[in-house]
Amino acid sequence: MFVPRSEGKFTQYWDLQCYLHPSVHDNSMTVRISLVGEASRKKEEKSRDRDSSVSTASDKNKDIIDRPVSLKDTVVTFDCVEGVKGTAIKIAFENASDNICGVKVVPPQPPFYIKHHHFNIGKRRFLKYPIEFKPDRVGTYEGIIVFKTDLGYSLSVQLHGNCKPESS
């Protein structure tokens, strides 16, 4: 999914590695994928921007009022080495409202694991939520974790994991 935060041209390069049978002399193959996208505003957004040349503080705070619970990152990447038990990353939440907010978690698929399926974020508080990456073999993994707030909206984080072979 391509969801840019600003106008412009965007390019990403992904190197996909495929490991073949260990008995083959050259047992890996790499393929490079190039992703290119261009973001522009919709026509009605452009005309609205021309009408209001000065943005007010209330416009900027509208997102905080509509969605007071937010995530610092929407994509996280784990790296680990084969034979190591795994690694963990903590995702940062912020609750900008004056009320405590409950969050239910839709767990990701293995090899990504969580320990808490529900938690509360205090009013005007930050919270760090742990996610563990425990692959059972070398490879590249992807997943998603969804957080459903009791305010009626959901937040999600894309999970990317890379488990490398032990270096000899």
Instruction: Tell me how many domains the chain contains.
Output: 2
In a domain, 11, yes or no: yes
| Model pLDDT, residue 111 | 93
What confidence tens digit (pLDDT) does each residue in 85-128 have? 789 999 999 999 899 999 999 999 999 999 999 999 999 999 99
97: domain CATH number is 2.60.40.10
In a domain, 58, yes or no: no
| Model pLDDT, residue 41 | 67
Q: Examine the domain organization and report whether 83 and 134 are in the same domain.
A: yes
DSSP per-residue codes, 23-79? TSSS-EEEEEEEEEEEE---HHHHHHHHH-SS--HHHHTHHHHH--EEES-SEEEEE
Residue 38 domain boundaries = 1-53
In a domain, 2, yes or no: yes
Q: Examine the domain organization and report whether 43 and 85 are in the same domain.
A: no
The first and second tokens of residue 112, run together, are: 């990504």
In a domain, 59, yes or no: no
Q: Examine the domain organization and report whether 49 and 71 are in the same domain.
A: no
d(CA 66, CA 46): 22
| 8 φ/ψ angles, rounded to the nearest 5 degrees | 135, 180
d(CA 60, CA 155): 20
Q: What parts of the chain have a pLDDT lower than 50?
A: 44-62, 64
In a domain, 115, yes or no: yes
- Is the pTM for the entire model greater than 0.75? no
